[in-house]
Structure 1
Amino acid sequence: MVRRTGCINDGKNLHVRCIAHIINLIVWDGIKEHGVCIDRVRNAVKYVKNSPARILRFKDLVQKANIDSKSSLSFDVPTRWNSTYIMLETALKFRRVFSGLSLPDGEDLNDNERPPEPEDWEKVERLVLFLEGFYLLTKRISGSHYVTANKGLGEIASMYDMLNNWEQSEDLNFQAMAIAMKKNF
C-alpha cells in the first residue's frame, strides 16, 4: 500500500541540511588527500608552542627575518576544518622561520612526524589557496545576526564552480581532491 503525504516526492526533499555542515563534510573528504603535509606542519607548530623557550626563539627568528605579521601560531581543532585552514595559513607566513629552528628529526619518527620539507610547504601553499574559497564561503553563510538562507543557492553554485575549476587543475592532487569532494557535493 502506498501512503500519500501530500508532499512532492513524499517529502524527501523537505529536509535541507545546513550548508556549513555540508561544506565541512565535503572539505574533510578533500583534505584527507594531504594528511602527511598537514600533520608535518601541525607537529612543527606543536613543537614551537609547547615550550616558552622555543616560542621566544621563534619570535626572535620572525623579527630577524623581517616578517611583519600580527598573526601567531595556532593549533587546529580536529573537528573543524576551518581551524586547520587558519593553522596552515598562519604557519605558511612563517615557513622561513620554521627552517631556522631545530625541529625534531630522526629515524625513530613516523613519516608524518618529520619536519615539513620544501615540497610540503608547496603543497600547503596550494592547499591554503584551495581552501580559502571554502573558508570565505563558510564565513558568508554562517552568520548568526543576519539571514543567510537567501544566499544558499548562489553559494552552492559558487562552491560547485570552485570544484569544477579545481577539477580542471594541472595539479593531479588537487584534481583528485576536487573529484572526491564533488562526489559528496
Structure 2
Amino acid sequence: MPERPEDVVAVFAKADFPWWIAGGYAIELAAGRELRPHGDLDVLVLRRDQDLVRDLMADWDLYVADPPGQGKLRPWRPGEVLQPPLHDIWCRRTPEAPWSVQLMLDEAEGTWWVSRRAPEIRRPIGRLGRTSATGIPYLAPEVQLFYKAKATWEKDEIDFEAVLPLLNAPARAWLADSIKVIAPNHPWLRRLLPVSRT
C-alpha cells in the first residue's frame, strides 16, 4: 500500500540532504496528472546520505533486499552501512503495517550523480531532479525513463508516452545517449532520435 508523495514530503520535511520521488509517481509529477495505479512509492537518495536517511526514518521498520533482485529481505540493522550492490530498502511504518515506501540508494562522486548501472553515465546532482508546483522534489523525467528502460513493462510504456512530449531536445539527447549504453537496440531510441534527412 504505497504512501502518497505528499506523505513522504512530511516524513522528509527535516531532511538536510537531497532526495527525490522516483518511479511512476515522478512521471506523474512531471506530467501534472495521474496516469495509472501504483504498487509502491519510490524515493531516491544518495548512498553517501544513507546514515541521515536511517536517522530520519528511525521509527520505521526497514529491510534491505539482499541479494538484490532475489526476493529476499533482511532487517537493515542500525549503524549498518550498506555497500554496493545493496541499494534497495523496503520500508513500512510498523512491523504490522504494509510495505509503503521503497528507498533506492544511488551513487555520487562530488557534485555528480553516477549511474549504478553504468558508471560512465553521469549528471550534475543539481540537475538530477525537479520540484513540483507544490514543492515536491522528483527525478527529472529523462532520468526516470533511463531507469525504466532496462526492462520495460506496459506501465513503463504508459509513462514514456505521457512525458515524451515534455522532453526538450537536450533531455531527449541525454536519454538517448544513456539508453544506448545499456540497451543499444531499445525501441524507445527510434522515438527519441531525430529522423535523418536524405
Bucket of the pairwise TM-score, normalised by the shorter protein: under 0.3
Higher strand fraction: Structure 1 or Structure 2?
A: 2
Higher helix fraction: Structure 1 or Structure 2?
A: 1
The structure having more radius of gyration, on CA atoms, is: 1
More relative contact order in 1 or in 2 (CA 8 Å, sep 6+)?
Answer: 1
